[in-house]
Structure 1
Amino acid sequence: MTVFFRYYLLLTGIILGLVACSPFTPREISGAAGSLPETFALYNGSPDMSTPWWESVGSAELNRLIGDALAENFTLKEAWARLQQSRALAVQAGADRFPYLEGFAATDLSQRRIPSAGVDGSETYALGLFTSYEIDLWGRIRSQREAALETMAATGADFQTARMTIAAEVADRWVQLLSRRLQIQLLERQLENNLIFLDLIELRFRKAMVSALDVYQQKQVVENVRARIPLVEAQRQLLHHELAVLLGRPPRSQLKLSQTALPVIGLLPAVGLPADLLANRPDVRAAGMRLTASQWQVAAARANRLPSLQLTAGAQYGASAMDALFDTWLLNLAADLTAPLFDGGRRTAEVDRTRAQVDENLWIYRQAVLTAIKEVEDALESETRQREHIEGLDAVMMAARKGLEEAIQRYRRGLSDYLPVLTQLIAVQDLERDLIEQQETLIRYRIALYRSLGGAWIEDGIRSTEPDQSKKRG
């Protein structure tokens, strides 16, 4: 035991000397997000990100559809499975922080027949343990683990991004679908009114009060409206299919849609500051986490060029008879110090590769930040101008309807032919259809704004609908 004790003291001294080495850590990148504007063009206070944005729309139908999609959408289930894979990889990356221990047991039975002595045989048994452990001298194991944890967190942010996207897409399809239903109803009313006009003109024609040209012109208006209905109906059906698939259902499933009017949205919500997007947007957070993960990978690659120290120990017990199993034993303890001498530049190339990956992820992160800011600015500008456009269309509609009334009165009194009536009728009906489309566009711009702002509701929704969504340290 004296020799073993001396060996143990020597090994301990070597280990303590090497452990004093400084491990590699990532270098901090100052201003990774780049230059950010102080405010948005239409800054109006700090937003409330604690509740789902679609609740502000005030539609129980929309709330139900989005809730179903967040629970059943297949894309979200794919993203959730990827998150589980990432968590398992993080656990694997952290396993080397602990000693590896395995046990073994063996038995051997042999017999032989000797003519003069009969049957001769022997039995041997062995039982033992083996353990190994690498001392993380330069932080390689820690760096690999931290890189895996950051990658896992980025995958979790990807899942949040998918939730944000699915919610916005469901709302967008729902608004478009509702708009098509209203357009079909409007076209049917227009067709009915145009048929009434046609009957009146045919009556005047039979009394020789108007020419056949007036009849043909009105028939053209009737057939034009009638021809539009199948196209809008096809759009409605295709949107129904898309919405059903977003809910994880077959395309022609019954969705129980009963709302009869487009939602009325209020004034622009508070949008906060551009810097808020770094925390509120999950896609931006994911890009930042992947940047941090690549920095840890550089630290791991640098540490991999230096010597590594592996400790191994084993204990084995054995005997020729079971009752004497623990009478004999064998114990060994070893330390292996290995250092790369020549590898053709492989480890150095790996350091260069991971550093280049940091540069790549840095620009990806900055691009994600700029894109997020741009999307908010685009949505703000689009909604503001769209409101102005709708106000202008309302004014045009008022003038067009008054013009139609005047044209009809002049036509009835015989002061003009049917062309002014026809012109005003077509203008009014086109404006009616256009107003529905523009109201739809306004609501879709608001959805795009909510989507571009992100929000804390995403993480809250994950914790309430998925098991164990907390970030695990493997």
Structure 2
Amino acid sequence: ELNALVDETLTNSPTLQQAWARLAQAEAIAVQAGAARYPSLGYNAKAEGTRNSATDTTVENYSVGLAAAYEVDLWGRIKSQTEAAALDRDASRELLNTAAITLSSQVALRWTGIVAQRLQTELIHRQLKSNQTSLELIELRFRKSLSTALDVYQQRQVVAGTESRIPLAELREELLLNEMTALLGRADFQSLEIPDEQLPRLGTLPNIGIPSDILANRPDVRQAGLRLQSADWTVSAARADRLPAIRLTASGGYANAEISDIFDDWMANLAASLTGPIFDGGRRKAEVERARAVADERLAAYRETVINAIKEVEDALVSEQKQRDYIAALDTRLEAATRSYEEAVNRYRNGLVEYTTVLVQLAPLQALERDRVEAQFNLIRYRIDLYRALGGSWTNELGEPQRSE
């Protein structure tokens, strides 16, 4: 069930569809940049007529031609621009991979949250039923003059308090279902049905590896590295743009006064030109400085991304370990609270204590039962955070959805 929901999200999510569209844009820009490495070839065709009113004659002329142009990449400007665009394209793919991992973890988290919330609601219903049974017994004892009216009123408060938790629990489940529906890219918020499940049992921790493995598997780290490399190439392109450029042009064609003989008269032209800046008000120099500043910014962003990546893994690991310790302590408290409550009930039935003693033991017991469900959910949440923090290469297998032509 969860795998099917993840697959649906990766296919229909508007967030991922936007990422695919951005990747398509980057691919087109990379193709445009790479086209500058090749000569350009164009054609022209012309037909004109000149009328002489004095002689009442018309002179017609027809021509067709081809023109080619090529810039010699003497200083590597075109290569630098091409490399930068290709790296930006690859960075867009890594951004898509990051979005896919994030969406998958969000779906897993929402699914686990829905299951946990249902278990929480079921627990509250069981607690309500138990409290109602206790109320019936107390009312029976009251009719036999074995309990006081205060005992009845106090237990009715307990029942009412438990009943008040049910709408809030159902609300949380509905909100989680709505969040899941939105992640799936569905517009019908009544269409999602998730069968009743139990919270999954966690296996052993995955092999974390060394920090370099973490960085290699994180698409956001790879993206930051690619953007840094792209900025370096952009600096090279900006420097080269300050130097002269050599352009070769060639043209050839046919011209004739008769269209039937248009290919009889051939002409050709070949030229080379050298162009370069003399004075531009410092525009090109400023562009170099801007490109350097962008590279410095992306270097800092790369360092920040690396640090955050390692931090997220460490946070997830320590969170899971401490959560396990917390659950162990919680189980000890729950066992002690259960025995205390049972002992208080026995003493009350034997007339040894007031009903207040039972209530004092009941409230923390039922709270601990609810805390236990939430604690198990949080443990799974930390494992999901760990898998997300570790990244992975499975997103490279994602296929592009069909686009409308």
Using structure 2 for the length normalisation, give the TM-score. Answer: 0.96
Q: Contact 1:242–1:251 at 8 Å: present in 2 too? A: no
Q: Percent identity?
A: 50
Q: Distance in 1 between matches of 2:61 and 2:269?
A: 21
Give the 5 Å matches for 1:152-301: 152-250=89-187, 252-301=189-238
Provide the residue aligned with 1:103 in structure 2.
Answer: 43
Q: Contact 1:301–1:354 at 8 Å: present in 2 too? A: yes
Q: Distance in 2 between matches of 1:195 and 1:111?
A: 109
In the TM superposition, residue 260 of structure 1 has moved relative to its aligned partner by 2.3
Provide the residue aligned with 2:341 in structure 1.
Answer: 404
Give the 5 Å matches for 1:16-95: 61-95=1-35
| Secondary structure in structure 2 of the residue aligned to 1:124 | strand
Q: Distance in 2 between matches of 1:65 and 1:233?
A: 22
Of the structure 1 ranges 143-152 and 185-194, higher mean CA displacement relative to structure 2 is found in: 185-194
Aligned residues: 403
In the TM superposition, residue 388 of structure 1 has moved relative to its aligned partner by 0.7
Q: Distance in 1 between matches of 2:272 and 2:335?
A: 91
In the TM superposition, residue 351 of structure 1 has moved relative to its aligned partner by 1.0
Q: Distance in 2 between matches of 1:134 and 1:208?
A: 106
In the TM superposition, residue 404 of structure 1 has moved relative to its aligned partner by 1.1
Provide the residue aligned with 2:259 in structure 1.
Answer: 322
| Secondary structure in structure 2 of the residue aligned to 1:129 | strand
Q: Distance in 1 between matches of 2:145 and 2:37?
A: 100
Q: Distance in 2 between matches of 1:467 and 1:271?
A: 36
> Which amino acid letter does the alignment assign opposite residue 46 of structure 2?
A
Provide the residue aligned with 2:371 in structure 1.
Answer: 434
> Which amino acid letter does the alignment assign opposite residue 85 of structure 1?
Q
In the TM superposition, residue 161 of structure 1 has moved relative to its aligned partner by 0.2
CA offsets per residue over residues 360-383 of structure 1, 9 Å max, x none?
100100000000000000000000
Of the structure 1 ranges 202-211 and 132-141, higher mean CA displacement relative to structure 2 is found in: 202-211
| Secondary structure in structure 2 of the residue aligned to 1:97 | coil
In the TM superposition, residue 106 of structure 1 has moved relative to its aligned partner by 1.5
> Which amino acid letter does the alignment assign opposite residue 443 of structure 1?
I
Instruction: Name stretches of at least 5 consecutive residues in structure 2 with no aligned partner.
Output: none
Q: Contact 1:240–1:251 at 8 Å: present in 2 too? A: no
| Secondary structure in structure 1 of the residue aligned to 2:36 | helix
Q: In the alignment, which of 282, 285, 292 is matched to residue 345 of structure 1?
A: 282
Residues 1:414 and 2:333 are matched in the alignment: no
Q: Distance in 1 between matches of 2:18 and 2:393?
A: 22
Q: Contact 2:45–2:65 at 8 Å: present in 1 too? A: yes
Provide the residue aligned with 2:303 in structure 1.
Answer: 366
Instruction: Name stretches of at least 5 consecutive residues in structure 1 with no aligned partner.
Output: 1-60, 469-474
Q: Contact 1:410–1:416 at 8 Å: present in 2 too? A: yes
CA offsets per residue over residues 119-151 of structure 1, 9 Å max, x none?
743432110001111000000000000000011
> Which amino acid letter does the alignment assign opposite residue 31 of structure 2?
V
Alpha-carbon RMSD across the aligned residues, in angstroms, is 1.6
Q: Distance in 2 between matches of 1:121 and 1:98?
A: 43
CA offsets per residue over residues 182-234 of structure 1, 9 Å max, x none?
11111111111111111111111111111111111111111111111111111
Provide the residue aligned with 1:308 in structure 2.
Answer: 245
Provide the residue aligned with 1:49 in structure 2.
Answer: none
